[in-house]
Structure 1
Amino acid sequence: MNRRLFIGALGASAVGTVAGCLSAGDSRTISATPARVSADAAATAGYEYQGTRERVETERVGSEDVEVTSYVSVYDRAMELPTAEFGEDAVKAGVFAVLAAPQVTVGDETINPISDRSRRELANRIQRHYDGFEIDRAVGGRAIQALGQRFSFQSYEGTAALQGEAEIAVRLDIAQRQHEDDYDVIAAIYPVEDLLEGGSEQERIDTLVRGLEQYDDIEVEIVESGSDGGD
């Protein structure tokens, strides 16, 4: 799969409607707090941090320009797959991302573009924005404790084009919920168990989720979209 396309699809699934809900006189700049995985958890899971993308949306609201900033932190893992296209070379086929989008309070109402969307709706939006990914069916879910809260995941299976060369069976895990002043979306896409010699990738994903961190003044490495090569 193309990591940049997946990241872009995740971002497109969750942002772009907050500013339209504001009215003139509200704050001109609204920013989420980035989320990341602890270094220890990432190392245990075997995933490599690829930086955090900053997504800024500017909308004209009344007589003001309102700037809304969200963040997507991305991790990936190289693994060997039994496909002739790649031979014995390890391929970055597992991608984990956590999106933090700000919620906005207007009077007595709190508004966020992802708060009212189901996991299926978010999964469908990722599918629509990512040409190489096709969802076939839902395959169950699980709950994981992270950030002092309970995240309920839904899993889907489908197919994805890996680096534009081979179509493989993959699983998408997705969860979303409020954490303090933000809404977080956690998404992971990885090959199904039958393609992996070491068994299911789910245990590694669960380690990443449990290792999530999000707090004021957290340090992340902001990278430009497209700076990672996109494999």
Structure 2
Amino acid sequence: MRERIVAVAGVVLLVAFAGCSALTGGPVTFGADKATVSEQALSQTGYEEQSVNESVITRNVSAADQSKTVKVTNWIAQYDRSIDLGPLGSQRAAVFSTVATPQVNVLGQSFNPIGDYPREQLVMMLQSRYESIENVQPVGNYSTTMLGQNTTVGKFSADAQLVGGGSVDVYVHVTRVQHGDDYVLAIAVYPQRLDDSESEHVRTLLDAVEHATESE
């Protein structure tokens, strides 16, 4: 999953910088502050932390006969919980992930690896316990709060393949907000049969996302 984010983010950075000129000087470094979920919300929903890791992108960017090394540090946090899928047994198939990625500012212009990415494509970037997620279709959206801001959450249906085998219909929730100098993205995936309980869990987790910026 992290490799997928690195690849996509790297492509977006290359496209973003392609129109810049007069890139001179040494390497440019940008870093995000980590975004995680509060322990209280994890305890309330039954989710457990699986990993909180940095994802570093380093690219040599060329424009108008000039080159620049750009290093971007993102933070990825993954949480999940075990659920009973009947014939498929107990699976950690309820997944919630956050990604914090910095705004990239060069020569007075701002860019972001995922800031302008369509929600449908972001769905395909983050999958933790699923081998694949296909046939992603929008089913609606709703408003909630994340990091003290009102945000619109896109909800999608999809066909998913679990790691280790087994197919399941899932719902995917995606939202992002700008907070401080970073963008914070949250994605949740869970089997459709558990929508009544998991949709409430997702709202609880979204409201409990924490992102301490350097200015705070």
Shift of 1:52: 0.9
TM-score (norm 1): 0.78
Gaps of 5+ in 2: none
Distance 1:36 1:166, change over 3 A: same
Shift of 1:63: 4.8
* Residue matched to 1:145: 145
Contact kept? 1:72, 1:98, Cα under 8 Å:
yes
* Residue matched to 1:25: 25
Gaps of 5+ in 1: 218-231
* Residue matched to 1:132: 132
Q: Where is the strand percentage greater, Structure 1 or Structure 2?
A: 2
Shift of 1:106: 2.1
What is the identity, as a one-letter code, of the residue corresponding to 2:186?
A: I
Contact kept? 1:138, 1:154, Cα under 8 Å:
yes
Shift of 1:149: 0.9
Shift of 1:12: 4.6
Taking the aligned partners of 1:85 and 1:216, their CA distance within structure 2 comes to: 42
Cα deviation, 1:81-132, whole Å, max 9, x if unaligned, reads: 12x232xxx21011100001110122332111222222123235559xx862
* Residue matched to 2:174: 174
Taking the aligned partners of 2:8 and 2:208, their CA distance within structure 1 comes to: 22
| Bigger RCO (CA 8 Å, 6+ sep) | 1
TM-score (norm 2): 0.83
Distance 1:150 1:201, change over 3 A: same
Matches within 5 A, 1:1-231: 5=1, 8-9=3-4, 11-12=5-6, 15-16=9-10, 17-18=12-13, 21=17, 23-25=23-25, 28-61=28-61, 62-82=66-86, 84-86=87-89, 90-123=90-123, 132-192=132-192, 194=193, 196=194, 199-216=196-213
Distance 1:74 1:125, change over 3 A: closer
Distance 1:78 1:141, change over 3 A: same
Distance 1:93 1:42, change over 3 A: same
Shift of 1:28: 2.5
Shift of 1:142: 1.0
Contact kept? 1:15, 1:101, Cα under 8 Å:
no
- Name which of structure 1's ranges 170-179 and 59-68 shifts more when overlaid on structure 2: 59-68
* Residue matched to 1:226: none
Taking the aligned partners of 1:204 and 1:75, their CA distance within structure 2 comes to: 12
